[in-house]
Chain A
């Protein structure tokens, strides 16, 4: 079974600074997808960024980028120029590509990000 681990229960950053959230996963599969979701106090889960395992290039979405290290099974999220609106719980998630794991995302335990003005 796949597992996702987020080793940082809480992180904090000053507004306009950069912060990196860590995520590691365990899988025996070679093809899969990885995601970062954000859950603000409203509890609405919002997609931040996604990555295909077979793509070497790291995904980027505006101020958000990932460092995907497939051999190390690591998928960290970097937030540049942090804003107050980035404060939320961040979840790393894994999904098998194809097979029978339809619709199943496996989530890490989450990292609470606090942004200080």
Chain B
């Protein structure tokens, strides 16, 4: 099976702009989770989507939003970019079903490196 893919891999934006990141999960996976990774804050959970519905959300401002399509692909949007939004954004896919770590393990994509100038 193909792994999780993320596009674009690298992105440079300026403050005030908005950005959309894309994530395609492993075939058959219905859950997509997004994480922000920075040197200062480490890995932080943004939100999770399952079957086109947001099931969980982390402590991020409303500028961070997402959505999921019927084919389970997900997009994350950040509006009014700030310098502090510079980070590696990782998405992870899983079955999204309960049943233990074997069935609900998250597999990560290569990430999108966002730089805000």
- Main secondary structure on chain B at its contact with chain A? strand
A47 to B90, CA, bound (A): 14
Q: Are A104 and B48 within 8 A (Cβ)?
A: yes
Q: In whole Å, how far is B85's beta carbon from the nearest beta carbon of chain A?
A: 17
Which residue of chain A has the shortest Cβ distance to B41 in the bound complex?
A: A109
Which residue of chain B has the shortest Cβ distance to A59 in the bound complex?
A: B101
Q: In whole Å, how far is B29's beta carbon from the nearest beta carbon of chain A?
A: 11
Residues of A within 8 A of B35 (CB): 105
Residues of B within 8 A of A33 (CB): 100-101, 104
Interface readout for B90-117 with A: 1 if CB under 8 Å, 0 if not? 1010101010111011111111010000
Q: Are B108 and A110 within 8 A (Cβ)?
A: no
- A100-B105 CB under 8 A given contacts A44-B110, A45-B90, A107-B42: no
Q: In whole Å, how far is B80's beta carbon from the nearest beta carbon of chain A?
A: 25
Instruction: Please tell me the number of chain B residues within 8 Å of chain A, measured between CB atoms.
Output: 32
Interface residues on A, range: 20 to 34
A43 to B90, CA, bound (A): 9
Scan residues 31-68 of chain B and give those whose CB is less than 8 A from a CB of chain A: 31-33, 35, 42-43, 45, 47-50, 55-56, 58
Query: What is the interface of chain A, defined by CB distance below 8 A to chain B?
Result: 33, 35, 37, 42-47, 50-52, 91, 95, 97-98, 100-110
Query: What is the interface of chain B, defined by CB distance below 8 A to chain A?
Result: 31-33, 35, 42-43, 45, 47-50, 55-56, 58, 88, 90, 92, 94, 96, 98, 100-102, 104-111, 113
